[in-house]
Structure 1
């Protein structure tokens, strides 16, 4: 950019300083604006948008700090570089100059060569920043276009990814809690934490609408940490509020990506310390695919987590391809029987899974119990091991927000039909 197209605003209540600075800058080819007080300076800055301002500090009515602060609060002028010029030499004044938004400080009496050198340096820096900003915006546009092309080719929904990412930032995700009931006592012994999205226009969304985009991308790490932290804090609250439920447990789903996260063990250790819950009351639910993955690496992580005294549950057992060997190799405490076997009344398979679990010293949780008939059938199948059998489903309660779950605990409800 030629100097004739660059405008510099000089602000000083001393006429001599104003003239000498203006003449020097004009001789260098710059367009110069002059103001002898703060109010005129603000008006000129807003109407002419100078590329740089040389600003005196000690002026009557409105000093340079106030002028700078005013300009930095307005979107149209906040990016204008401001160099303070003053006879004040104490450190506090210079700190104040940079605090209110100045980029440089020149002491009076000033040398014209020094002023000119600093002006040209900051103009070049400002020009480079503008170029970088323009290039950044161009790259953002190109990136958006590339994402759309990839989305069309792969089916990946970048729009949903962006929307979920914004939802995380706006704290729109919620945790709901579904009771887990013991077959022998018919009492609540724990909850499973289930994620929901409080969408600003579509209302409360179930995981089917967004969980794949979270689990398939880097979003799983912040969301996973938030779920664990929130669920454990809620469990702490319930255990303290309801003395009869000091042994209450919390089940949290953990994806394969989370298991492979480098600092997962340390993060869970910190959560347990902060929430002060009994580690045995935290149950991590993993899938069969996690168990069937990288055996050595997964086993190493699970063993480290097991050292913290937490429990492990295989979710939706029977729908994947886990082997009996993996069940004995890995520190699994609970098998969760998939709801599909209950819906299809495949009682032979249900009994076989239960018998396998009890033989291996494990417990079972049956998902998707919706009718009294289903519950009675399950109690008949597992009659000799009811203390190690648990149920979950709409027969007991749908997933509840924290307040509704608290009310359910307060009732100390038994689910005898």
Structure 2
């Protein structure tokens, strides 16, 4: 009666002399047994409770230990007919030598099926029907666990390809999300057509797809797969009444034994970034990734250094080639890391520009240079007859309020505008000529001097030189250092000097590293020189002493 009142399938089992028997059961228990593969209570007793089967062994172990053990999960049948059960055991009082237990059977079939359905939905991309990012990671793990080929067979490796559809956001914005979805579905179908049997495809991001490719001939197979994908995408896509050419960037990474699936996927994604830059499929190279990690590390450390004011400005003299006196100093950022040592500006300046830290770095340099020049005036007790030049990057010109920054530095330091020279590269002009013109005009309104740095290495039009208020042309060192051995370099420098003279501009030659160069440049009419022949960049405390020494030297001569 007690068993019949229970809402779940239950029975009483008795255990004696290694034999288990069903002593009592309720109707639900009988129904559960009937719909299982054993079919009857006799069948259950014969196939499940005796012998060395899973259930029999589990029950005997439980009776022998006389402890509440873990529940037993088991599956009956397979495929779509499979049913899933959980057995729970609870001890009952013994009858002499007979041990007794209450066993309940919970049918978990509906629960398991719901879990599987939910998991399938979790692993499926709803738009394309392909496996999603989570499923792709599991697919990589499965591929990594595949057994090695038998001796004499060709070993099977695997590669992960990441395919990124380029310019998708522009298509989505201009044509709408429905057209974007249609394009993604069509793109996925074309990817499928480019795959071989056994290759696996997933949608791993908005416009990103991942592919697992089986390799028999190593990298050659992976590159052929990339080539097939590019061929499949060569024909235009038709959306509504438009035909759209869609390009893709492809990154490849070869699976190493025991490699983490997430790491492998990230490697392929890193290769995609390089593919976008080069315009062709790229294979992941650990060296390139190491450099990328270093750049990221430098970005983090540079941000901290700027917060702690841990950078320094050094000052390289600019020498008047006629008098030999110092006409100015160029302020140059220097960074000595407490652990890494000195980090070259050629390494941290590009990182600063890429990350946007160049805005903070530029403002710091501007105010630091102005403050230092004002302190030199105060130490000398007079307004010194030279200026300080500060570099401005193209990123600053494009994003920052240059005139406001320079004006603020002048006001806080008490300097006149002509004491500062702002050096801009040609790229700052070429990227946005109109904005550059506004910036130049605003700087001239502050009476600041404007110099074009590295002249001759960019692509600026001569019309810019005529139209923009540029005061100084700085001749790039690549031309200056070759003057003693290359007649073409001499001709280029001579032409720049003539051009500057015709436009009423002053000139400064970079990279002067010998007396012969300094003499030749002076003879050609160059106004100023800068380079290791005169001095390396100096700390602020030594720069003023250098100016004094050059002044005394010029007086004696």
Same fold (TM over 0.5): yes
Provide the C-alpha distance between the structure 2 equivalents of 1:335 and 1:378, rounded to a whole number of angstroms.
14
**Cα deviation 1:37-79 (Å, max 9, x = unaligned):** xxxxxxxxxxxxxxxxxxxxxxxxxxxxxxxxxxxxxxxxxxx
Cα distance, 1:198 vs structure 2: 1.2
SS at the partner of 2:538?
coil
Task: Identify the residue that residue 510 of structure 2 maps to in structure 1.
Answer: 367
Task: Identify the residue that residue 251 of structure 2 maps to in structure 1.
Answer: none
Task: Identify the residue that residue 425 of structure 2 maps to in structure 1.
Answer: 287
Is this contact kept in 2: 1:175–1:194, CA < 8 A? yes
Provide the C-alpha distance between the structure 1 equivalents of 2:265 and 2:355, rounded to a whole number of angstroms.
17
Provide the C-alpha distance between the structure 1 equivalents of 2:392 and 2:265, rounded to a whole number of angstroms.
31
Cα distance, 1:413 vs structure 2: 4.8
- Unpaired runs of 5+ residues, structure 1, are 1-143
Out of 332, 357, 369, which is 1:194 matched to? Answer: 332
Q: Spell out the pairing of 1:242-261 with structure 2 (5 A cutoff).
A: 242=380, 246-261=384-399
Q: Spell out the pairing of 1:5-404 with structure 2 (5 A cutoff).
A: 153-154=272-273, 156=292, 157-242=295-380, 246-345=384-483, 346-382=489-525, 389-404=527-542
Q: For the structure 1 residues 291 and 163, does the alpha-carbon distance in structure 2 shift closer, same or farther, using more than 3 Å as the test?
A: same
Choose between structure 1 and 2: higher helix proportion. 1
Is this contact kept in 1: 2:325–2:547, CA < 8 A? no
SS at the partner of 2:313?
strand
Provide the C-alpha distance between the structure 1 equivalents of 2:296 and 2:545, rounded to a whole number of angstroms.
40
**Cα deviation 1:86-120 (Å, max 9, x = unaligned):** xxxxxxxxxxxxxxxxxxxxxxxxxxxxxxxxxxx
Cα distance, 1:225 vs structure 2: 0.3
Is this contact kept in 2: 1:239–1:245, CA < 8 A? yes
SS at the partner of 2:319?
strand
Is this contact kept in 2: 1:239–1:248, CA < 8 A? no
- Unpaired runs of 5+ residues, structure 2, are 1-262, 275-291, 484-488
Provide the C-alpha distance between the structure 2 equivalents of 1:304 and 1:397, rounded to a whole number of angstroms.
33
Task: Identify the residue that residue 486 of structure 2 maps to in structure 1.
Answer: none
Higher mean alpha-carbon deviation, 319-328 vs 239-248, is at 239-248
Q: For the structure 1 residues 349 and 409, does the alpha-carbon distance in structure 2 shift closer, same or farther, using more than 3 Å as the test?
A: same
* TM-score (structure 2 length as normaliser): 0.46
* TM-score (structure 1 length as normaliser): 0.60
Is this contact kept in 2: 1:239–1:247, CA < 8 A? no
Provide the C-alpha distance between the structure 2 equivalents of 1:257 and 1:242, rounded to a whole number of angstroms.
36
Is this contact kept in 2: 1:148–1:158, CA < 8 A? no
Q: For the structure 1 residues 403 and 332, does the alpha-carbon distance in structure 2 shift closer, same or farther, using more than 3 Å as the test?
A: same
**Cα deviation 1:291-349 (Å, max 9, x = unaligned):** 11222122112211211111111101011111110001111000000111121111111
Is this contact kept in 2: 1:292–1:326, CA < 8 A? no
SS at the partner of 2:547?
helix
**Cα deviation 1:185-211 (Å, max 9, x = unaligned):** 110011000011111123222201211
Of structures 1 and 2, the larger Rg is shown by 2
Is this contact kept in 2: 1:188–1:414, CA < 8 A? no
Task: Give the total of aligned pairs.
Answer: 269
Q: For the structure 1 residues 150 and 309, does the alpha-carbon distance in structure 2 shift closer, same or farther, using more than 3 Å as the test?
A: farther
Q: For the structure 1 residues 376 and 223, does the alpha-carbon distance in structure 2 shift closer, same or farther, using more than 3 Å as the test?
A: same
Cα distance, 1:240 vs structure 2: 2.8
Task: Identify the residue that residue 56 of structure 1 maps to in structure 2.
Answer: none
Q: For the structure 1 residues 299 and 149, does the alpha-carbon distance in structure 2 shift closer, same or farther, using more than 3 Å as the test?
A: farther
Q: Which has the higher contact order (CA 8 A, sep 6+)?
A: 1
Provide the C-alpha distance between the structure 2 equivalents of 1:247 and 1:395, rounded to a whole number of angstroms.
22
Provide the C-alpha distance between the structure 2 equivalents of 1:311 and 1:391, rounded to a whole number of angstroms.
17
Provide the C-alpha distance between the structure 2 equivalents of 1:276 and 1:293, rounded to a whole number of angstroms.
33
Cα distance, 1:149 vs structure 2: 8.0
